[in-house]
Structure 1
Amino acid sequence: MATAKKPTARRRSPKPEPAKCPDCDGTGETTETVRVGPRKGRATDDHQTVLCLTCLGTGDDTTD
């Protein structure tokens, strides 16, 4: 009688990392210039960190 084959463990290849977002370079955040004034919106030397609108903060390139 033939012997039964032993099951072999399958090795899974690691998933490729998603591409980085081109707008925020994979950080998920960008900087915006602070503007003041009701009419012209004069730009100041201050900056604020905002969520990247392209990837919504994930840092992954979601464009196809």
Structure 2
Amino acid sequence: MAAAKRPATRRKTTKPVPAKCPDCDGNGEITQAVRVGARTGRLTDDHQTGLCLTCWGTGEAPTD
């Protein structure tokens, strides 16, 4: 009697994890201090968030 065939096992392939953006640490957003005043540009205690221009908000390091 012939032995029953077992289904071939497939290896799970994992996608490589992309490197984090060095400027925003993978968040996609950066914070900057708010400056007021025309000449001196005094710093305030407030901060504003914005889109990271290095990775365009994806959080992945650019691949040049």
State the TM-score, normalized to the length of structure 2: 0.76
Runs of at least 5 residues in structure 1 that lack an aligned partner in the other structure: 1-7
- Distance across 2 between alignment mates of 1:61 and 1:34: 26
Q: Deviations over 1:12-57 (max 9, x none)?
A: 5121011000111100001100000011211101001111111110
Q: 2:3 maps to which residue?
A: none
Q: 1:25 maps to which residue?
A: 25
Q: Percent identity?
A: 68
Aligned length: 58
Q: 2:48 maps to which residue?
A: 48
Give the match's secondary structure for 1:35.
strand
State the TM-score, normalized to the length of structure 1: 0.76
